[in-house]
Amino acid sequence: MTDRLSPRLLAIVDTLPLRPGMRVLEIGCGPGAAAREVARRIGNGHVLAIDRSRKAIEQAETACRDEITAGTLSLRQVAAEDFELLPGEEKFDLAFAVRVGAFDGRHPAAGEKALPRIAAALKPKGRLLIDGGDPLRELPLQR
């Protein structure tokens, strides 16, 4: 499935510290290419891919049909600054975002709202990685 990823997106997924069985949150999933690849790499883990755009979620529903059916991936239409765990939902080991304005400086007010929400959705040692490093950088989270 890596043939569907751009070289940049493949480099980002390759850099993620993935392990089998992880719970991973992708923020700003677009059509789901990275989420599919992450789901493939974490085996019996789970990816929740979110995006504020209904169109992106619809595209991801089509592109990720096999992973959704297998139970390794789910989708939710929600902005990062509005995200919260559902009642009884397990926290995530890792969150990542690529080209998400709330985290890359384009929408700092959204970022101020989003960071505590993402921190609350992560396990105590959970990490938030975003593009803009080489190729990723970690955003510090206050807990």
The fold adopted by the segment(s) 2-139 is: Rossmann fold (3.40.50)
pLDDT for position 75: 98
Q: Are 117 and 49 in contact (CB under 8 A)?
A: no
pLDDT digits (tens, 9 = 90+) for 37-58: 999 999 999 999 999 999 999 9
pLDDT for position 2: 44
pLDDT for position 1: 43
Residue 114 has pLDDT above 80, yes or no: yes
pLDDT for position 52: 97
Which residues are CB-neighbours of 66 under 8 A, at least 6 positions away? none
Which among 1, 39, 21, 6 is positioned nearest to 131, based on CA atoms?
6
Residue with tokens 């392990």, as numbered in its chain:
19
Ranges of each domain in the chain: 2-139
